[in-house]
Amino acid sequence: MSIKVAEEWLNACSGCEIAIVDLGERLLDVLNLVDFVHMPVIMDHKLYGQLGDQKHIHIPEADVGILTGGIRNEEHLEVAREMRAQCKTLIALGTCATHGGIPALANSYQNEELLQRIFSTETTDPADALPDDVPEILERCQALDELIKVDVYLPGCPPHPDQIYGALTALLEGRPLEDSGKSVCNDCPTIREGKGQLKNLRRFLQPPHYGTPDEPLDKMRCLLEQGLLCMGSVTRAGCGGDVGTPRCIAARVPCRGCSGPVRHEGNQLLDMLNGLASNGIDIRSLPEHTSLLRFSGAHGLLRPKRTKKEA
Ligand code: SF4
Ligand code: SF4
Ligand code: SF4
């Protein structure tokens, strides 16, 4: 008997859905085992009935629910609650769902400022003003588990298809999902010389030092020790999938922390600041420190105290 799966996207960019499609041929294996009963990106199953004639959102019952994106408006909240009610196991897929992600950068601004910026600039046609019939936005963008109960967390922006495949097959086979508790640094092959090697921070996008483009990564010095603000030590491992090498490091780019903290409840920003302080580095000496604080906030680091969870 196949397992019923429902999927929905909330305050999301659809990159996580693309990561599901990026399973490639393995998607055929998954499709043999599961029956998607609702998934807007691949099937025409409407929220308010196929004719749009229902008053309330309805999602069919499912064994597994997958939600991407955080909760930003009243409709997201209603969809999230319906998914929670209809799905036995609910997966938060992607950092937007687990921590708010990039859309939560907007939490740095008041809603009035955001609406003014989008709908009332000097280039906005008055006819394009905010329509009356769009869902009301909430006070801020919230991670799913701030408002509903989540059973499985799969962060990443987006998660690597190997991670998604591993999680789906574990669920299908009734195996518990493993959380390695490791950081990006654990999977990084660069050369580290140890604490005290970081003397000064350079601008984030300055090129790192290495030999030739063909030189293997294990011949390159750790980017943080080179003075580039790499957040690998405070970021959850796994973005490299089965190959293991972290995706940005493979491109010789510092980790920006997109998979969120190593432990779900961890505080990536404080851990990073502590790490820098233990090397005698003051974050205020970094030209981009304001951006870092904003970006880190998007990944749950400055997350306000949680509201009561709802079932
Ligand atoms: S986690 Fe990243 S890829 Fe997924 S919806 Fe959010 S921004 Fe897009
Ligand atoms: S700080 Fe960055 S470059 Fe250094 S080991 Fe960690 S992930 Fe690799
Ligand atoms: S290296 Fe860091 S920023 Fe890059 S994909 Fe991995 S977790 Fe995300």
Which numbered ligand comes closest to the C-alpha of 15? Answer: 1
Give the pair of three-digit tokens for residue 173.
């086979």
Beta bridge partners of 96: none
What one-letter code names the amino acid at 93? L
Which numbered ligand comes closest to the C-alpha of 19? Answer: 1
Averaged pLDDT, 13-31: 93
Rounded CA separation 39/44 (Å): 8
pLDDT for residue 189 is more than 90: yes
Query: Whole-prediction pTM value?
Result: 0.89
Q: What local confidence, expressed as pLDDT, does residue 302 receive? A: 43
Band of pLDDT at residue 284, cut at 50, 70 and 90? confident
Q: What percent of the chain has pLDDT over 90?
A: 59
pLDDT for residue 163 is more than 50: yes
Give the pair of three-digit tokens for residue 110.
């008041």
Helix 161-172 and helix 26-33: axis angle, to 10°?
Answer: 30
- Mutation to probe ligand 1, out of 7, 96, 99, 141 (largest number of atoms < 8 A from CB): 96
Band of pLDDT at residue 100, cut at 50, 70 and 90? very high
Least confident piece of the model among 2-6, 69-73, 130-134, 135-139: 130-134
Closest ligand 1 atom number to CA of residue 94? 1
Cβ(102) to ligand 1 under 6 A? Answer: yes
Cβ(259) to ligand 3 under 6 A? Answer: yes
Q: Tens digits of per-residue pLDDT, 239-275?
A: 999 999 999 999 999 999 999 999 999 988 889 888 8
Q: What local confidence, expressed as pLDDT, does residue 305 receive? A: 39
Q: What local confidence, expressed as pLDDT, does residue 287 receive? A: 63
- Mutation to probe ligand 2, out of 209, 217, 248, 249 (largest number of atoms < 8 A from CB): 249
189 vs 292 pLDDT, higher one: 189
Q: Tens digits of per-residue pLDDT, 287-311?
A: 666 566 555 544 444 444 344 444 4
Cβ(192) to ligand 2 under 6 A? Answer: yes
Give the pair of three-digit tokens for residue 29.
């294996």
Q: How many residues does the chain have?
A: 311
Written in H, E and C, the secondary structure of 139-161 is EEEECHHHCECCCEEECCCCCCH
Band of pLDDT at residue 127, cut at 50, 70 and 90? low
231 vs 286 pLDDT, higher one: 231
Q: What local confidence, expressed as pLDDT, does residue 291 receive? A: 60
Q: Is the distance from CB of 115 to CB of 121 less than 8 angstroms?
A: no
Domains, the chain: 3-172 (3.40.50.700), 181-305 (no CATH)
Cβ neighbours of residue 131 closer than 8 Å, sequence gap 6 or more: none
What are the backbone dihedrals phi and psi of residue 112, each rounded to the nearest 5 degrees, phi first?
-60, -40
Averaged pLDDT, 156-179: 91
298 vs 125 pLDDT, higher one: 125
Beta bridge partners of 154: 93
Q: Is the dihedral of CA 185, 188, 193, 198 positive or negative?
A: negative
Q: What angle do CA 23, 26, 28 make, to 5 degrees?
A: 110
Cβ(236) to ligand 3 under 6 A? Answer: no
- Mutation to probe ligand 1, out of 21, 95, 154, 256 (largest number of atoms < 8 A from CB): 95
Q: Is the distance from CB of 200 to CB of 227 less than 8 angstroms?
A: yes
Rounded CA separation 228/203 (Å): 7
270 vs 187 pLDDT, higher one: 187
